[in-house]
Chains A and B, each alone.
Chain A
């Protein structure tokens, strides 16, 4: 076991399928996603709204709406263990301890009725059984200092509404790393923030990732963010990864027509807050996917074959894979 844990990647997602059962049909929100992530590596996931980025992240930690969702297949191997087969208690022991998630909205992510200190102590109490008040205080203050909160001793007594959005996001980040996880999932951690604050938060995330040698998944709409801090990029469309490559590869040689369209949309995003909606057409409804490639209606290079059969994922370069008939023919 131990040797396997050492040699296997930090995270390996294999053919993950997550479905939502709705009145108007089953939504294949994640439809066969696979990727690997090593320690110290940052993977960016990009794609339009509704492409399944958040659902992929939440499937990894198994926190999806209980009644409507179902992980229909696949494996999520974390340090060699399949998270999908763990009991509820076992996965809970991993959440917030070994795998932490930072989500989008710092304004509403902290509980308004408890102090920062109170909320930050919880993971330490539950996962590491730290009991002494002094020790808790020191660890909390230390984590806050790490994310660049000034005078952290005072902030621990504050309530969330007394902090700015950027500070709250730093607090959430500090809370995510205080138990020394090995995987950090950041789902659009800066979307709701001002541009200057966005840059600060990204710098903090990058710093933390490097200092703690974390594996990090960064979900974003913003390719310039990807360029700045990711090693690899996975481009998602309609619940699948359509292209996956190291950062230089993807910017120099994008192969999938969707990725190419995303690249063209980039210069118009100089304010970096706008969404990637400059590609003509709409993303498909994942409740009504056919057997062909879902990008067909928007694809300039679509052929008859694309309409009928989904393209296999093919290796086209060093760690560069793409799922497109045209790109590989």
Chain B
């Protein structure tokens, strides 16, 4: 088990290092890194100071060393647009994105799994058919359209929900549902097919032969075994909850990273873009390690080898 954890953490470290190389290289690839990393309004003196600080006139490995040292010590440079350290700007917005992503992930997981299990246990019946159609729609209709439909219905027509901003529980509903939509549909389909497979197995039949109640057969014996492919899909979708926020946050004026990314790109704020990419992707890599550890918890065959 310890070896498993260590190897997963090792892989994560290598991945994050790889991302840092890419982020570093992107700024250098565009020819003059100074043009990207130095604010346009800087005086020639300031310009030279920053070039010296980043080592832009020295060999690439040295530059990378300087870059990596900055990253490790939390120094990502100053945001051009906000005039503050990029990491601070990021840190102010990141919790908002995380909260929305977490709510959306929970909605997607709970909704998708319960709909999928219902479909599998009533396979071929009426609930199953309705669910299959909804799941197909979920995957066919893009999330921004869902967001606009929701807004039209619940804000414009019914006036039940506020259209934008983050102030109170109600404002979470529409962004979270739009963000969860696609993922929920995919999870429902995966849960359904995974459960159908598991329900055919000998151990599920044995559970029935033992005289266990059907609810116990489904949730204890079938569901836990069906969970591995569901979790795999879910872990792939975790990225989507953060990347999807770029669109959703802008539609609902949600003060998070998605909105910040667009602002940073429009104002050519490279230090901020760099920070967002590096920190967000490192975060997602670590999240995936967490999911891998969860597998081990669910399936002893992973844990004990």
Contacts and interface: CB of A to CB of B under 8 A. Distances in A.
B69 interface: no
A97 B301 CA distance: 30
B207 A111 contact: yes
Contacts of A61: 209
B232 to A, nearest CB: 16
A46 B253 CA distance: 73
Interface string B212-240: 11001000010011000000000000000
B211 A63 contact: no
A251 interface: no
Given A67-B124, A112-B203, A161-B301, A122 B208 contact: no
Contacts of A92: 211-213
B298 interface: yes
A140 to B, nearest CB: 13
Contacts of B137: none
B61 interface: no
Contacts of B299: 112-113
Given A111-B221, A113-B299, A123 B202 contact: no
B129 interface: no
Interface size class of B (residues with CB under 8 A): 20 to 34
Interface string B264-305: 000000000000000000000000000000000011110010
Nearest to B210: A96
A79 B216 CA distance: 28
Interface in A251-298: none
Contacts of A94: 211
B202 A108 contact: yes
Nearest to B207: A111
A51 B209 CA distance: 22
Interface in A94-132: 94-97, 100-101, 103, 105, 108-113, 115, 122-123, 126-127
A247 to B, nearest CB: 28
Nearest to A89: B213
A109 B205 CA distance: 8
A180 B107 CA distance: 46
Contact of A123 (B203, B211, B224, B304): B211
A175 interface: yes
A118 to B, nearest CB: 9
B225 A111 contact: yes
Contact of B202 (A67, A109, A162): A109
Given A103-B202, A103-B206, A159-B304, A113 B211 contact: no
B201 interface: yes
B202 A113 contact: no
Given A111-B221, A159-B304, A97 B211 contact: yes
Contacts of A175: 210
Nearest to B204: A111
B210 A122 contact: yes
Interface of B: 123-124, 201-203, 205-213, 216, 221, 224-225, 298-301, 304
Q: Which 8 A-B pairs have the closest CB atoms?
A: A96-B211, A95-B211, A96-B210, A108-B202, A111-B203, A159-B300, A109-B202, A101-B209
11 contacts: A67-B124, A92-B213, A93-B211, A95-B210, A101-B209, A112-B300, A112-B301, A123-B211, A126-B211, A126-B216, A127-B211
Interface of A: 61, 63, 67, 92-97, 100-101, 103, 105, 108-113, 115, 122-123, 126-127, 159, 161-162, 172, 175
